[in-house]
């Protein structure tokens, strides 16, 4: 049964009986909903608020990021998918900058895409060679991509609509450094037809 608009809710423990010691007429106006039912009803026909995940990538992960993908968002199965609104990449300098080839890039892409399809975002690897903190919002960077992203909607870029994992990888090995990367991903998880 759909939850009527304007219904008020009072939290009651699941082990507490809900019929009140009033009249059967008053009890007949009362409906019991679980939080799962409320969440399901609230998601129908509304724009979901974005979720934010922050991933700290430590030096030992940066050293191997040219051969090993670093997962930023897991793959969703079934009829679920992620709409990625923004990716923010921070380089947090410690004492020693990294050394990386001048042609090296940080790639953010769907794990199901081969490198020939192009990443969702390229970031110059030189951000790792700085002797200070650095910040990149990839939306402002040059986009090299042949898979149809990003989409432009209302002057805001939607980076990706993905069912596979969102990952980060370096095109060349980084060495020597001791700083870390912090990647903040703003996204919305949805289901087809919702």
Of residues 190, 156, 192, 155, the one with CA closest to residue 47: 190
pTM above 0.75, yes or no: no
CB 121 within 8 A of CB 159: yes
Compute the distance between CA of residue 180 and CA of residue 104 in angstroms, rounded to an integer: 17
- Of 91 and 47, the structure prediction assigns the larger pLDDT to 91
What domains, with CATH codes, occur in the chain?
1-46 (no CATH), 51-191 (2.60.120)
pLDDT of residue 18: 65
Compute the distance between CA of residue 119 and CA of residue 114 in angstroms, rounded to an integer: 8
Convert the pLDDT of each residue in 115-132 to its tens digit.
444 456 677 788 888 888
* Residues in Cβ contact with 114 at an 8 Å cutoff, skipping those fewer than 6 apart: none
Is the pLDDT at 64 greater than 90? The verdict is yes
Compute the distance between CA of residue 59 and CA of residue 57 in angstroms, rounded to an integer: 7
Of residues 86, 106, 49, the one with CA closest to residue 160: 86
User: How far is the CA of 178 from the CAs of 52, 91, 94, 97, 140, in angstroms?
Assistant: 26, 11, 6, 7, 27
- Of 58 and 146, the structure prediction assigns the larger pLDDT to 58
Share of the chain above pLDDT 70, in %: 63
Is the pLDDT at 180 greater than 90? The verdict is yes
């Amino acid at each position: 049964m759909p939850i009527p608009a304007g219904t008020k809710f009072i939290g009651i423990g699941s082990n507490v009986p809900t019929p009140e010691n009033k009249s059967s007429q008053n009890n007949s106006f009362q409906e019991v909903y679980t939080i799962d039912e409320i969440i399901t009803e609230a998601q129908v026909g509304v724009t979901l608020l974005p979720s934010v995940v922050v991933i700290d990538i430590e030096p030992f992960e940066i050293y191997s990021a040219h051969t090993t993908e670093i997962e930023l968002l897991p793959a969703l199965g079934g009829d679920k998918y992620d709409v990625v609104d923004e990716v923010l990449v921070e380089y947090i300098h410690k004492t020693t900058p990294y050394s990386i080839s001048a042609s090296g890039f940080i790639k953010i892409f769907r794990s199901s895409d081969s490198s020939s399809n192009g990443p969702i975002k390229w970031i110059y690897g030189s951000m790792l060679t700085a002797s200070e903190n650095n910040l990149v919002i990839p939306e402002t960077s040059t986009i090299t991509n042949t898979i149809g992203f990003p989409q432009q909607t209302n002057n805001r870029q939607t980076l990706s609509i993905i069912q596979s994992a969102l990952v980060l990888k370096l095109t060349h090995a980084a060495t020597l450094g001791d700083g870390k990367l912090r990647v903040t991903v703003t996204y919305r998880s949805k289901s087809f037809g919702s």
